[in-house]
Amino acid sequence: MGSATPVKICGLTRPEDVDAAVGAGADAIGFVLYPPSPRYVTPQRAAELAARLPAFVTPVLLFVNTPADEVIAAASAVPGALLQFHGDETPEDCLAASQQGQRAFLRAARIPLDPDAPPFDLLGFSKRFDRARAILLDAHVPGYGGGGQTFDWSLLPAAPDAHLVLSGGLTPDNVAAGIAALRPLCRTLSVDVSSGVEAAKGIKDHGRIRAFVDAVASC
């Protein structure tokens, strides 16, 4: 891995941004295959961009409530890609779209922003999606995706057997604090950033990408 805490840069739409993320040391590159997103790319475009990746940098394809046959078709064009389910998918949906786990997948969990909301049952969620390679933690905002907002990391319970991916509002300035808060709670921790390294939606700031990867590596 490029760092003790692996880094995923998500929402890539341009070849120069893919190259910049790889050059900065990212471990994974995410492509959003959800048409309403401003970072949406077609499956064909995702395949073209993923073809730029060198060995040991993993492509990740993000889906939201996409029918299994469409997920399977899109994934067939990107060998070695992880799948990321970011909608209301059930465990059965995830297994069907991943061809019964033949294709590794992540499952996003939407963490409430309201401090008065019931505590998020991370243990229960991770057990329910026990076939997922990791649970990705994102803020619960209207629609899908974290909206560039952080949630209260201190409210999460320990999940010592879980592989977690911290997402939602991360930037070069706060990612070290997020890692410090969550790393003791889980088996392994990775981080995922999109809007926190952007100049505009879908357009990455190469300097912020480098700063983010450097901040993670310093932890």
Write the pLDDT tens digit of every residue in 156-168: 999 999 999 999 9
- 155 has a pLDDT exceeding 90: no
In the chain, at which residue ranges do the beta strands (DSSP E only) sit? 7-9, 28-32, 58-63, 82-85, 105-111, 134-139, 159-166, 186-193, 198-200, 203-204
pLDDT confidence of residue 118: 86
Domain annotation for the chain: domains and CATH numbers: 7-217 (3.20.20.70)
Mean pLDDT (whole number) for 29-53: 97
Mean pLDDT (whole number) for 131-156: 86
pLDDT confidence of residue 1: 37
- 70 has a pLDDT exceeding 50: yes
What is the residue-averaged pLDDT of the chain?
A: 94
Number of helical H runs and strand E runs in the chain: 7, 10
Predicted confidence (pLDDT) per residue in 95-128, tens digit: 999 999 999 999 999 998 887 888 899 999 999 9
**pLDDT category, 15, cuts 50, 70, 90?**
very high
- 145 has a pLDDT exceeding 80: no
- Cβ contacts of residue 59 below 8 Å, gap of 6+? 28, 29, 30, 31, 46, 50, 53, 78, 80, 81, 82
DSSP sequence for 85-136: E-SS--HHHHHHHTTTTTS-EEEEEEE---TTSPPP-HHHHHHHTTTSSEEE
- 2 has a pLDDT exceeding 70: no
**pLDDT category, 52, cuts 50, 70, 90?**
very high
79 vs 59: CA distance, rounded Å:
9
Mean pLDDT (whole number) for 47-56: 98
- 146 has a pLDDT exceeding 60: no
- 3 has a pLDDT exceeding 80: no
Cβ contact 37:59 at 8 Å: no
Which residues does the annotation mark as catalytic?
Answer: 10, 138
pLDDT > 90 in the chain, percent: 86
Mean pLDDT (whole number) for 180-207: 96
